[in-house]
Amino acid sequence: MEKYTLIITEKPDAARRIATALDSEGKPEKVEDNDVPYFLANRDRELVVVPALGHLYTLVQDRGRRNFYPVFNFKWAPRYKAERGAKKTRAWVKIFSKLSEDADDFIAACDYDIEGSLIGYCLLKYACKDKEDVAKRMKFSTLTKSELEQAYEEPLPHLDFALIEAGRTRHEVDWLYGVNLSRALTLSAKRWSGKYATLSTGRVQGPTLRFLVKRERAIRSFVPKPYWSINAEVKIKGSAYEVEYEKKKVGRKAEADKVVQDCKGKTGKIESITVRKYRQKPPIPFDLGGLQSEAYSLFGYTPRRTSGIAQRLYLEALISYPRTSSQKLPPAINYRAILKALSKKAAYKRLASKLLKKALLKPRAGKKEDSAHPAVYPTGNLPERALSNQEKNIWDLIVRRFMAVFGEPAVKQSMKATILLSGYHFYLRGRRVLKEGWMKFYEPYIRTEDVLLPQIDEGETVEPKRIIREDRFTSPPPRYNPSSLLKKMEEEGIGTKATRADIIQTLYERKYVRDQRIEVTALGFDIVEILRKHCARVISVKFTRELEEKMEQVQTGSESREDALVEAVDLLKPMLEELKKREEALGEELSEAVKKARMEERIIGSCPSCGTGKLIILYSRKTRKRFIGCTNYFKGACKTSFPLPQKGTVKSLRSECTACRWPLVEVRIKRGRPWRLCFNPDCPRKEERKKYGKMQNLRKRRSK
């Protein structure tokens, strides 16, 4: 092959799209070498488009023992040398090295953000042997043909070194903090107990867990206070309407009783009517956080899941790059062209056509801006394959949000009638939409309903239909969910749009938290308490935010990477020295926390036989088979036991069977769906299932 241009991309799907867009006939040749796919395209010259698999290089300790801390020497190395599960990346690195030998032109075409820039840089520097200074950079926000062609024809003359330096700094600081702090925890516990347990914390993970512990403490220490409310209904022109008492909370029971007593059997009068008309602006375009929040609210998708789905849609050229913090849509994306393309789909035809009739298309904009990418928007391309339900939901949400931002303000009307009843005020409220405006475009995802009131006039009498006192208690603050926690991290300025969802996932994987309504486990509590006691700075939000600001300064060029690293190490050293001094006490406390957590994991629930013991997962000394037994067995007070499946993982669901009230467990086998198991042999549901199974078998035999 003659000399050619080597184009580096981030993933195989992106490589295929880029090669197809740039090939003069749109039919690049796919080549596989040692199971690594790449594409040969022909344009003004030969192009070789090669994909990575995300990060092919990572940070490793440069020298010294692995069971030691502090460690400050590191280097960038291929992932296959650093991670056990990354062996296949060796072939990918070799292909880049091999193909770079006959290339005389290099272009980085990874995603235009910190991570994408760093992926391209590492491959050019290490695999392609110092080609980072001669390479050009393609910059694009969508994988559409027109944008890719323009990015190729008008590349940036050199790599985006500001983003690269920011990426290197962030990874290196995170490595220094993550490796050292996690080793301090893990090794302290192992040296004390002799047993290994994966314990971790980091510059963002620690403060995030602290948010959750603080909220959990507030919930657990919350003492409900009684209050009383008045529940009332009035009859107007033959129909019943709920009305609000002027005080939402009544502090004394006697006062609430007096209101009920005074109003019973009395006739009320409409004292005043207030009608307010107001305009509601269209929503702002999605940044990644906004998309994640809306998807969680509407579909229950975790931030990480939404990010993954959006990334797939981007690789299919259906949406723009999703990892953006921008809430603005520039005219350069060509609003009309996108709407015309979307109008080819029946579901959007009428709505898109309505917008295209406007003389001026001006989207509403939010405050946040991202120099790399605009807000998330649909490209106008229609799916080339059948999307999964989750992909359909996210794509439809993005399309409808895009159309809604061009809509007119909605006009709404609210009405408040003040009713005087025996000297007390009650409020009758109604609302309705007078003009839908943007709401028509976002209709499936609108969560407001009209409350229509009858025609009423001031001075009109009303008859109470029901008025009662309700006994209530104040509620604790709500638990965070993955979406609200991500929003909290964003507000506090810790982590990045690309890493926050992964940090939350790590907390689940370390078993520091559980459930969608995030509850901190005993281990999570203990980790925060131990760190607070021995090295409070590790979980300091202020400290983490200051580090974030330093790394942002590297990206803007006002701080050098070297200075940021020196400062990060200077701040880390005293923390590690403190942990080293207290290693024995730290190890003892962590070992006890791990032991307690492992015991907590094995507890299934209360024993329904003896009523005083706990059902726990046990292992037979003879057979090593697992089963459920009562803790009172060891006291000779209860012999209750039940068999368990021997394959897969078993954990308590911390809920009861609705048929027999026995504890439920979840059994999860690799590559299989988890199933809920009631282990009560006399559970009525088991008989129902047996009967159902027999009926199904009988039907099958008859059909044959």
| Cα–Cα–Cα angle for 585, 591, 595, rounded to 5 degrees | 150
Residue 444, both tokens: 């499936």
502-508, long-range: CB within 8 Å, 24+ apart, which pairs? Answer: 502/304, 503/204, 503/205, 503/208, 504/208, 504/302, 504/303, 504/304, 505/304, 506/200, 506/205, 507/205, 507/208, 507/209, 507/212
Decide: 148 and 77 in contact? Cβ < 8 Å. Answer: no
Return all residues near 205 (Cβ < 8 A) that are at least 6 apart: 178, 503, 506, 507
Q: Are 41 and 23 in contact (CB under 8 A)?
A: yes
User: To 5 degrees, how large is the angle CA 54–CA 560–CA 83?
Assistant: 30
Asked if 321 is an active-site residue, the reply is yes
In the block, residue with structure tokens 């459920």:
628
Give the residue ranges of DSSP H helices in 194-230. Answer: 205-220
Q: Please name the amino acid found at residue 179.
A: V
Separation of alpha carbons 372 and 324, rounded Å: 8
Q: Tell me how far apart the 2 most distant CA atoms of the chain are, in Å.
A: 98
**Two structure tokens written together for 387:** 């999307």
Contact 123, 56 (CB under 8 A): yes
**Look-up of token digits 């460690």:** 71
HSE, CB side, 13 Å, CA atoms: give it for residue 689.
Answer: 9
Which of 69, 177, 301, 321 is an active site residue? 321
- The b-or-e profile of 126-148 (16+ CB within 10 A means b, else e) is bbbeebbeebbbbbbbbbbbebb
Closest CA to 641 of 607, 688, 674, 590: 607
Tell me the C-alpha distance between 505 and 511, whole Å: 10
Q: How far is CA 45 from CA 12, 103, 109, in A?
A: 22, 12, 17
CB 219 within 8 A of CB 479: yes
Q: Which of 270, 280, 239, 273 is nearest to 430 (CA)?
A: 273
| Residues that are catalytic | 321
